[in-house]
Amino acid sequence: PGSGAVGSGSSSASAPQGARASASAHPARWHVPSGAPRQSGVTTQPGTHAHWIGLDLARDAMKDDLRRALVVVDDTASRFVAGSTPLPDVAHELAFDAGGVAIAVGLGPRVFTLRGMRAKAPSWLAPIPTMPIDRFEKPWDQTDLVIQIDAANPVGVSHAATQLFSALKGIATPRWQQRGFHAGARPSDAGVTRNLFGQLDGQEQPNVDGNEADRVWNAATTAAPWMEGVTGMVIRRIRMDVDVWQTLDRASQENAIGRRLTNGAPLTGASPHDPIDLEKTDELGLSVINPAAHVPRARPAKTGERILRRPYNYEDARADGTSDRGLIFVAFCADVAAQFVPIQRRLAEADLLNTWTTPIGSGVYLLPSAPRPGRYLGQNIVEA
């Protein structure tokens, strides 16, 4: 919806290949003996259930406090990913099979300002500029750390979150937690899942295993060799007015999106991968795809703006018996300022879906590279 979260924008000819690459079934790994040192939870196949924990270090925290947090997370997460459980865990039966869970950990902007830190944050590690459609609510805002856990087993996901939460007691304080879900993708939907508006979400993805890997992954630089294998993570919490959306007829819903609900094809085509023709008009001379529909607004203005989407639905009970429903929109890109922010600005300026969606939370994080054996997550940053 209003954050660039729903639907797809690009009509690149390589999109089908990219979509498959973004959901590749690579087993989750934590310690990387060789190859690209990249965290899991970015290009691994998204599990049907996910859990995010946003945590803060103490206000007067120093570099050593960050080190402690990362060492603890590294030990706990690496055990889960390997198919075992942390040493204090008495519920070993809830462990995943090796590769059955993906865990990703991100650092917020403040950790680079802690006393003793020498590594300098990249310029893109900063909050998304406030947009006129934003209605942020506590506590869904930026935190010092974020942990993302996803798998097919919701009990296992909950157990991993509990163990990570317990391991970090006295080191980092949770500010918010959020569960997400999707139903998986039907074969007829070409591996793409649907959001609570019934829309195929994330049809167009960069080819992260091929010629568009640099849209997601950073390379080392002379000033910051630790940037190798780093990616930027944006997490937006978007409330969706599902009850009102369901009162619209199907044509109105498709007009707001710019794609067909049946198979995700653009309104100017019949197949999901048909080109988006913004010049096509109907018998009255009107644009077939409304210029303010979500698809043309979310469409990257240039190839470098393509981002990797990893969205999940959420539903939380309110005290009055109603539900707060929406989207946890997670996106990965090499440069948040150059790739994500321009798309977000266009959506904030004019997107028909803004009528039924409201961004209520936002955060930007840097995901360190996966650690090599014998090293902990983020060691190359903390000890730079």
Active site residues: 201
SS3 92: helix
How far CA 37 is from CA of 62, 113, 124, 218, 353, in Å, comes to 26, 25, 21, 11, 38
CA dihedral 34, 38, 42, 44 (to 10 degrees): 10
Strands 145-151 and 101-107, by their bridges, are antiparallel
Q: Is the Cβ–Cβ distance between 31 and 82 less than 8 Å? A: no
Q: Is the Cβ–Cβ distance between 38 and 30 less than 8 Å? A: no
Element containing residue 331 per DSSP (H, E): strand 323-333
How long a stretch of residues is the chain?
384
Whether residue 139 has a cis bond before it, omega within 30° of 0: yes
Residues paired with residue 106 on neighbouring β-strands, in sequence order: 146
Q: What share of the chain is helix, strand, coil (3-state, %, to 5)?
A: 25, 20, 55
CA-derived radius of gyration, the chain: 20
